Structure 1
Amino acid sequence: MDREDSYLDFLKELAEMSRAEREPILCRDMSLKEEFEEWLPGFRATQQRLANSQTTRSIQPLADRDFLTAEDFKKLYTAIVNANFDGISLTNLLSINWNMLGCDRKSASNHFSALRSRTQWWMRDNQLGWHGIYVWENPSDILNCHLLFHLPPTRRGPDKRRKGYDKRERGFRPWLERTICDLLDVPTLPNGSVDLQCRNEEALDAQWHWFRYMMKGLDPDAWVRDGEGRLVRLADKAEIELKPQGRIIGKRAGATQSLNTKEVEHWQYKTNRPTSLFATDQLYGDSAWYAGRSIRDYIRRGDLQGLHTFLRFF
């Protein structure tokens, strides 16, 4: 141990003493006393930082959730409407039965998170945006999830049900099967474990049909205020046929970062329309889709007067 380390240890020993024990020693050497008093505050601050970093904090267990909440509904609904306003439709539904794949809740959650991450990179490699929403369900202890997302028809690839289908082919469908097999380390997937349904990009009726299907696990006691301020049951207002979807530990629903309501503005703000989600009797229309298209057309043509008129009367 060198001289500097020995001196530092000596200062630490002094710091651990009580003031009564330390004072007689320091009073014998005033230069030592000055150095010690200059060094001590930094030493105490370092000790406090270490203590804070090593403090064992209680970890709250993940909450058991039996239903989707009104906030879940609002978040996912707003995500879709924002996407539609920007010309993006969610007309592809991926459903995965994790029980058939031999996964429990923890492993299924890890695999699904990895799948979403890999899908994001696949979309980027193909010059596409990654836009989607998802929910977890567990009816009768059959764990599954649904992902409603955007995928242009030209990138979907061949249908697995087509004669001569080969998962080595190009496109999203074959890539999806290869990726899930890789995540699970299996050569093939059981029939019916993974299902991908696709519609054309302007099939907004299919998009909203699938959204209501995904919302079937909504809390029957979820209430919201309509445009006139009256309390109404959300399932009735949103025209959802409720079916209990079992208990889920942890997060039950989510959206990709591009559609997260913390990252985007609601389209109604952009067009100065009423901001209440439930101020209209028509929740599942195409007004956001065509409003966004009209605004982009006006901007592309440089017709600012037409855009101003449109926003006034829309």
Structure 2
Amino acid sequence: MTTYLPRSLLSVRTITLPPGFDWQWLCEQPAIPLMPVAQLAEANDPPARSREGSRYIRRYQVFDLYDAICFANYKGAILNIELTISWKLAGISSPTDVKRAYNMLMDRFRKFMVQRRYPAYYYAVFENDRKIGYHNHIGLHVPDSLQAAFRRWIKNIELEIVQGTTTGRLFHIRLHKQSSVKSQWQWFKYCVKGLDPSLTKRDKQLGKPDANSLAGVWRRETGYVELQRVRIARSLGHKARRDASYTPKHSITNISEPNRYSDWEFERGRVDRGEVIVQLSDD
């Protein structure tokens, strides 16, 4: 079935017609036939590779992730668990399968935390190495009191996913104390090493060789990823921050380098909750 669109919806260009041109004849001509609307929409859609895929982490993604971590700190949670997942070791290689496995894992983590009456604070960065394929670097918050249970839980998840298909370790985990702010930021600076190094005109005036040096993070090629490269838990996302009326005091771009990766937001949250005053009164 051929679908027609009225001339009023077509793009308009200014043209010069010869004197005595028969306008009535032009108006009596039928509308210009187009392909079916469904085919038209499909033809105009970008290829799936370009929707989420990218070679680099975009600058706004790093800035947003920084604010999300600061929000967790303000709420009293340090992202103290470093988790790397090498999906290829479990026979999971395609972007679709990686996305499905990742979503399953993080859904299980949310349930693990909710059952213990804690919020699920986490973020994840996707990379695609030529040798090890797709893998995730993830930052999580797990209180000290839950770390033993978390170890058992993650070991069971690993056995469930692998099912004897690999001799390697699917999960690589480092657990830190829940007050370890330094390790949190060191992990962040490593996780976002795939940041687009391009500089803006304003950046170039600051004398830094690339955007990574400007932000104080690592730099390394991390491959083309056919997925949204950075994922942030809903509990740390825009809506959660907006609902909490949270406004960061500083952003990654307007704070001095010594304070950029410090505990300033964690301490500000303690003061706003009155925890520092309570602690001082108990001494």
TM-score by length of 2: 0.72
Tell me how far apart the structure 2 counterparts of residues 136 and 68 of structure 1 sit (CA, whole Å): 9
Does structure 1 residue 110 correspond to structure 2 residue 88? Answer: no
Q: Please, which of 208, 217, 235 is the counterpart of residue 212 of structure 2?
A: 235
| Residue aligning to 1:261 | 238
Instruction: Kindly tell me the number of residue pairs found equivalent between the two proteins.
Output: 230
1:156 is aligned to 147
Query: Whole-Å Cα distance in 2 between the matches of residues 139 and 85 of structure 1?
Result: 34
2:135 corresponds in structure 1 to 144
Residue of structure 2 aligned with 1:81, choices 49, 70, 80: 70
- Contact 1:181–1:189 under 8 Å retained in 2: no
Evaluate the alpha carbon distance shift between residue 244 and residue 268 of structure 1 in structure 2; reply closer, same or farther with a 3 A threshold. farther
> Which shows bigger deviation, 84-93 or 105-114?
105-114
Query: What are the within-5 Å matches in structure 2 for residues 163-242 of structure 1?
Result: 171-184=149-162, 186-187=163-164, 190-223=167-200, 233-242=210-219
Which piece of structure 1 moves more, 100-109 or 67-76? 100-109
Quote how far apart the aligned CAs of 1:118 are.
1.1
**Is 1:70 aligned with 2:59?**
yes
- In the alignment, residue 283 of structure 1 is paired with which amino acid? R
Residue ranges of structure 1 left out of the alignment (5+ in a row) = 1-53, 158-170, 302-314
The Cα offsets for residues 201-248 of structure 1, whole Å up to 9 and x where unpaired, read as 11100000000010111111154968xx96964312221221100110
- Offset at 1:139? 2.2
User: What displacement does 1:290 show?
Assistant: 0.4
User: Contact 2:90/2:161 (CA < 8 Å) preserved in 1?
Assistant: no
**Contact kept? 2:215, 2:252, Cα under 8 Å:** no
Question: 1:266-285 residue pairs with structure 2 within 5 A?
Answer: 270=247, 273=249, 276-281=251-256, 282-285=259-262
Gaps of 5+ in 2: 1-36, 279-283
189 and 260 in structure 1: CA distance in 2 versus 1, 3 angstrom threshold: farther
**Aligned sequence identity (%):** 22
The one-letter amino acid paired with 2:57 is L
Q: CA deviation at 1:263?
A: 2.8
Q: Assess, with a 3 A threshold, how the Cα gap between structure 1 residues 249 and 286 changes in structure 2: closer, same or farther.
A: same
Determine which of 225, 228, 239 is the counterpart of 1:248: 225
Give me the CA root mean square deviation. 2.9
